């Protein structure tokens, strides 16, 4: 989505870039993309996983990626990456904990009640003989797992569906934000060009107003992104705002606000009001501004 947001910042309306077809099996140089996990692995010397890897999973899934995913060598490639997999490394502590508990139960029962030798068919006695009380045996009835397995399976399914529904809702809300931002810039660009064709008194002022609107349109989704993201990304957001806004006062006003998305929306409304266009057209643009506020709730 950051690609789409940057698209209307650069040119008001996103135009897909020309893509050159790539072969099915791409070389490492061709497959390396900025911001990808492969690039982060080469830079850091190890493959990031867990929460650290989320920032590298925002590249667009392209057609050549789908072809590589369907290749006949994908099974071997996936098996080779088992021990470097982020899922395996994220679950390593849980797997070790379960293994240690199971090992403790085996050693406890073997020490108290004996064990079956692998080399012979005889049962080796425990350390304390055969007079150990039965209640000291570490065991659970099988019926507990038999009865709880269906309920646990349903719980996991419902939890997965709920999590995906939340993600889908957020994705749709972000899509609406991008769409309304594009709509505002499309309308403003079209109507100002129409007014320029009708000999506006100050065309340079109109273009400056359009540039101000462009910055404010960029500021709203970016402020919402920073508002919902990790606080560790705050320096990056502040640097981008200071670089893009020509006025230090506007940048300080946005960065110093307690709720930056609302402040960015306020700046956007003010920039729309200063556009040298008809009031009826401003009302139409303001409808998208209202919908932006609803999408950010």
Q: Which residue has the higher pLDDT, 59 or 147?
A: 147
232-251: average pLDDT: 87
Please state, in angstroms and as integers, the Cα–Cα distance from residue 215 to each residue in 4, 245, 264, 272, following that order. 15, 7, 10, 11
Higher pLDDT, 151 or 195: 151
Provide the 3-class DSSP secondary structure of residue 45.
Answer: coil
pLDDT at 119: 67
pLDDT value of residue 14: 38
What is residue 59's predicted lDDT score, i.e. its pLDDT? 65
Residues 182-230: tens digit of each pLDDT: 999 999 998 887 765 565 567 788 888 899 999 999 999 999 999 988 8
User: What crossing angle do the helices spanning 142-197 and 260-273 adopt, rounded to 10°?
Assistant: 20
Please state, in angstroms and rounded to a whole number, the distance separating the CA atoms of residues 31 and 54: 19
- The pLDDT mean for the chain works out to 80
Q: Residue 264 pLDDT more than 70?
A: yes
Lowest mean pLDDT: which of 9-23, 103-117, 172-186, 201-215?
9-23
Residue tagged 């806004």 (tokens): 245
**Pairing status of strand 123-124 against strand 115-116:** antiparallel
Q: What is the mean pLDDT of residues 96-101?
A: 95
The CB density around residue 100, as the number of other CB atoms within 10 Å, is: 10
Which tops the pLDDT comparison, 195 or 88? Answer: 88
Arithmetic mean of pLDDT, 113-128: 75
pTM: predicted TM-score of the whole model, two decimal places: 0.66
- Token code pair at residue 5: 């947001």
CB distance 269 to 286 below 8 Å: yes
Q: Is the pLDDT of residue 162 over 90?
A: yes
Q: Which two tokens stand for residue 107?
A: 């050693």
Per-residue burial over 49-65, b if 16 or more Cβ lie within 10 Å, else e, is: beeebeebeebeeeebe
Spatial CA neighbour of 218 closest among 248, 251, 190, 193: 251
% of the chain surpassing 90 pLDDT: 29
9-23, 72-86, 154-168, 280-294: segment of lowest average pLDDT: 9-23
Kindly indicate the confidence band of residue 158, based on its pLDDT and cuts at 50, 70 and 90.
very high
CA 264 to chain centre: 22
Taking alpha carbons only, the member of 292, 167, 166 closest to residue 224 is: 292
Provide the β-strand partners of residue 123.
116
**Among the listed ranges 29-33, 67-71, 109-113, 120-124, which one has the minimum average pLDDT value?**
29-33
Distance spanning both ends of the chain, measured CA to CA: 18
Given a cut of 90, is residue 180 above it in pLDDT? yes
Q: Tally DSSP H helices, then E strands, for the chain.
A: 13, 2
Q: What is the pLDDT of residue 198?
A: 60
246, 214 Cβ separation under 8 angstroms: no
For residue 178, pLDDT over 90 is answered with yes
Q: 237 or 46: which carries more pLDDT confidence? A: 237
Indicate the helix (H) or strand (E) that contains 239: helix 234-244
């Amino acid at each position: 989505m950051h690609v789409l947001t940057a698209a209307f910042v650069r040119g008001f309306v996103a135009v897909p870039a020309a893509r050159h077809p790539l072969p099915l099996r791409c070389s490492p140089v061709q497959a390396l993309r900025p911001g990808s996990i492969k690039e982060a692995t080469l830079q850091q010397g190890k493959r990031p996983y867990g929460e650290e890897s989320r920032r590298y999973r925002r590249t667009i899934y392209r057609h050549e990626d789908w072809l590589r995913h369907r290749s006949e060598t994908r099974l071997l490639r996936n098996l080779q990456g088992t021990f470097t997999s982020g899922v395996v490394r994220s679950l390593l502590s849980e797997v070790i904990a379960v293994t240690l508990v199971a090992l403790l139960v085996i050693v406890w029962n073997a020490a108290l009640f004996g064990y079956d030798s692998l080399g012979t068919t005889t049962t080796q006695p425990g350390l304390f003989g055969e007079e150990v009380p039965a209640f000291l045996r570490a065991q659970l009835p099988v019926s507990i797992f038999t009865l709880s397995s269906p309920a646990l399976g349903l719980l996991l399914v419902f939890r997965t569906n709920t999590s995906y529904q939340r993600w889908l809702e957020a994705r749709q809300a972000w899509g609406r934000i991008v769409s309304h931002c594009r709509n505002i810039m499309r309308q403003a660009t079209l109507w100002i060009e129409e007014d320029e064709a009708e000999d506006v008194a100050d065309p340079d002022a109109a273009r400056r107003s359009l540039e101000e609107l462009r910055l404010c349109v960029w500021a709203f989704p970016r402020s919402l992104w920073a508002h919902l993201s990790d606080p560790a990304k705050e320096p990056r957001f502040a640097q981008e705002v200071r670089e893009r806004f020509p006025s230090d006062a506007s940048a300080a006003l946005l960065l110093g606000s307690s709720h930056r998305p609302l402040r960015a929306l306020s700046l956007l409304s003010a920039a729309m009001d200063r556009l040298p266009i008809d009031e009826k057209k401003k009302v139409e643009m303001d409808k998208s501004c209202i919908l932006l506020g609803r999408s950010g709730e």
